[in-house]
Amino acid sequence: MGVELLTAAAGQRRSFWGDLPVPETSTVRLLVLIGLLLFFLAAMALEAWSRPAGFTVALEDGAVVLPERAVHELVERAFATHPDVVRARAVVRSRRGCIAVAARVYLRPAADAARLEPIVRDAAIEGLRRAFGFAPEVRRLDLRVLTAGELHRHL
């Protein structure tokens, strides 16, 4: 119907319904309609069945759902507490009731990454322990020393 309205607005009068293959029998037409109905119901169910908007954490007395955005901000702030850290980016996942973190930490030019790795890790774990009440698992921590030319992109 919409296509016919557009063509009529353009000054051409043409019906496209004859170009569509329509089943001959009413039984086949009914099966096509039922199939379309099932398809749209499945699409609506998949859309309505969404993931929770946070991380589920198992505690002694039950479970808590933490907001996803707040968890990401807390984790990235916890990894960026040291003065040599310019920026931190984290990927946070909830697995089997605990939070697992993979973080990339950008350090100022000429910083000693080997010396700072345990300091940054311990400070982040302690900060998150205070914020969440438990320590998340740090699966991966990548420290990258920036060059002077890269520094402006991460400030």
Cα gap 103→100, rounded to integer Å: 10
Cα gap 103→121, rounded to integer Å: 10
pLDDT above 80: residue 21: no
Q: Residue 1's pLDDT band (boundaries 50, 70, 90)? A: low
With 0.75 as the threshold, say if the pTM is over it: no
Cα gap 110→118, rounded to integer Å: 17
- Tens of pLDDT, residue by residue over 110-137, are 889 899 999 999 999 998 888 877 888 8
Residues 11 and 63 in one domain: no
What the block records as the tokens of 110 is 């000429």
Q: Residue 16's pLDDT band (boundaries 50, 70, 90)? A: low
Instruction: Evaluate whether 102 touches 143 at the Cβ level (below 8 Å).
Output: no
Residues 25 and 88 in one domain: no
Bridge partners (DSSP) of residue 94 are 99
Residues 65 and 133 in one domain: yes
The secondary structure of residue 142, as a DSSP letter, is E
Residues 40 and 85 in one domain: no
In the chain, how many domains are there?
2
- Tens of pLDDT, residue by residue over 53-108, are 677 777 778 877 788 888 888 889 999 998 999 999 998 887 776 788 999 999 99
Instruction: Evaluate whether 68 touches 55 at the Cβ level (below 8 Å).
Output: yes
Residues 87 and 14 in one domain: no
Question: Angle at which helices 68-79 and 113-132 pack, to 10 degrees?
Answer: 140
**What is the bridge-based pairing of β-strands 137-145 and 98-107?**
parallel
CATH number for 134: 3.30.70.1350
